[in-house]
Chain A
């Protein structure tokens, strides 16, 4: 069964860089896109960006200037860095498999499944 396990610092000061990593277990990293999604307390979901095993990334324009998503395929991991954080970046951050998988026939849209357990990141001085 595919599992995603994420880790990283949960308390940051304004202007610091958020850094989270997601480990992928029991499935090949290649063949899929991998995403980060966040949810401010009591609010809805926001897609942050994605990466595939070839290192191709797509970011939400609302965060693009501050976001970097990278992957270490040898470790089956991918990471999120968000620079210059403010209180508005306080949220639960999730990693997830998706939104697509790569087949011989091309890219197949599948949505997000499964998700990591989530990490609450609080930005406070």
Chain B
């Protein structure tokens, strides 16, 4: 299985901060990675997928980059509605695997 290591596991930030979350794959997954946001008590929603392409309707302050084994999700200016847990997902090979999550808190 491909292991996805996310860092940090949690972070504290303020409104307007630039936030960077990293995901490292245990082997080359090309650009087959997506990022998901989950708020408490709700299902995850897709932010970024293969490309990296931004999901329709997702604010442009979110961006994904990387290929191979190193990937980042950047929030250029943190907004109140961005406080959530973020997960990466590799869909390069079976079984599909998620990172452990990054909780973004105030």
Contact = CB atoms under 8 A, between A and B. Distances in A.
Interface of A: 35, 44-47, 58-62, 94, 99-100, 109-118
Given A60-B94, A110-B49, 6 more contacts: A46-B98, A47-B96, A60-B95, A109-B32, A111-B36, A113-B46
Given A44-B101, A94-B43, A118-B43, A112 B89 contact: yes
Interface of B: 1, 32, 34, 36, 42-46, 49-50, 55, 87, 89, 91, 94-101
A31 to B, nearest CB: 17
A113 B56 CA distance: 11
By DSSP majority rule, is chain B's interface helix, strand, loop, or mixed? loop
B104 to A, nearest CB: 15
Contacts of B42: 118
B96 A99 contact: yes
Contact of B97 (A35, A47, A59, A111): A47
- Most interface-central of A62, A110, A113 (chain B CB within 10 A): A113
Contacts of B98: 44-47
B94 A58 contact: yes
A115 B50 contact: no
A106 to B, nearest CB: 14
Nearest to A50: B96
Contact of A62 (B46, B49, B95): B95
B49 A44 contact: no
Contacts of B36: 45, 111-112
Contacts of A117: 43
